[in-house]
Structure 1
Amino acid sequence: MQRLMIADGSDIVRKVGKKILSEIGFLVLEAGTAREALQRCQNELPNIMIVDAGLDGALDLIANVRALPEGKSVRIYYCVIEADLKVMMLGKRAGANDFLLKPFDRKILTTIFADKAIAA
C-alpha cells in the first residue's frame, strides 16, 4: 500500500483529503506543521507528499525531505491556491515534482492519484 502524507495547517483539508485518498487505497499520514511532517518523514518516508504552499516552512520541508536518504524518490505535490508562476517556481526549486490547486475535491484527487495508489 502506498503511503501518502498531507502536510497542511488546516484540519479540515487534511480530514477531507485523508477520507478521499484512503478510499482509493492510500495509507494516509497527516501533519499539521512542517516540523511534524519532517519528523514523520524521518521515521517513515511516504511515497507521495502533498505540501500546502501556505504552510510555514513549506519550502524548507520540501528541501529537507529531498536531503533525506531516499528522499529523492518521494513524489511531492506543492499545493497552491492559484497558478502563480513565482510561487510555483519557488516550489519547483525546492524540489517539488508537481502542483495541485486548492481547493481540491474528490474528482480532482481521484483523477490525479487513483493510478498511483496501486503502483508499488
Structure 2
Amino acid sequence: MKVEIVLGCLDYHYVLTEEKLEEPNDSSSLSEKKSHAKWVKANKLAMLIIRASVDQTIRRGIPACETAKKFLETIKKQFEGSVRERQYNYLVKLINLQYDGSGDVRQHILKVS
C-alpha cells in the first residue's frame, strides 16, 4: 500500500495499471515516442521504489520481471492464501525437490526458498 501511495504521489501509478506500451518504430508519431519514453522511465523508477521497499531476503526469491506491474503481482502471489496451506505446500515441495545437477547450489537453494 505504501508503494502505491508513493507512486501515486510521483504520478507513476499508471505503470501498475497499464500494460507496457509497444516499442515505437520509424512511422510512430512524436507523441507516441514521448509517451513510450515516459512509460519506460516511470516503470524503471517504480521498479526501483518497489525493490527498495521489499526486504532483501524476500527480494532474492522473486524472479526478475520486466514491468513493475508484474513484479508487484509476483510479490502479492507469494503472500496469498492461508498460512497453513502455504506451509503445507512448501513442505511438500521441499520434501520432493532434489538437486538435478544443473545450475549451481545457489539456484537450487533459491528454488527451495
TM over 0.5: no
Q: Which has the higher contact order (CA 8 A, sep 6+)?
A: 1
Decide which structure has greater helix share.
Answer: 2
Structure with higher strand content:
1
Q: Using structure 2 for the length normalisation, give the TM-score.
A: 0.26
Which structure would you say has the larger Rg? 2
- TM (norm. structure 1) is 0.25
